[in-house]
Amino acid sequence: MKVTVDRTLCDGNGVCMGIAPEVFDIDDDLNLHVLDEIPNDPDVHARVRQSITSCPLLALTLVEG
Ligand code: SF4
């Protein structure tokens, strides 16, 4: 599993960071940083999936594999 962000869509609203702060971080300029593109922990996996479905701008994509 790998998380990718479409930066042309993301506006830095932080919804994903609220759900999975281990993976998503918004800086002071509202730029999203993916801290761990390939998280191993199953709990983090689950919350990354929740972040992806919760992103209001559909900016997150999960690449399985
Ligand atoms: S929830 Fe979506 S739009 Fe909001 S910061 Fe995360 S990736 Fe960007």
pLDDT 10s digits, 8-57:
999 999 999 999 999 999 999 999 999 988 888 999 999 999 999 999 99
- Predicted confidence at residue 57, as pLDDT, reads 98
Residue nearest to atom 6 of ligand 1 (CA): 16
Tokens of 27: 């800086």
- Predicted confidence at residue 33, as pLDDT, reads 95
Ligand 1 site: residues with CB under 6 angstroms? 5, 10-16, 24, 26, 32, 55, 57, 59-60
| Amino acid, single-letter form, for residue 22 | E
- Predicted confidence at residue 37, as pLDDT, reads 86
Model confidence pTM above 0.95? no
Q: State yes or no: pLDDT of 65 exceeds 80.
A: no
Give the distance (Å) from ligand 1 centre to CA of residue 24: 9
- Predicted confidence at residue 40, as pLDDT, reads 86
- Rounded distance, CA 45 to CA 43, Å? 5
Q: List Cβ neighbours of 2 (8 Å cut-off, separation of 6 or more).
A: 37, 38, 62, 63, 65
Ligand 1 atom closest to residue 51's alpha carbon, by position in its atom list: 1
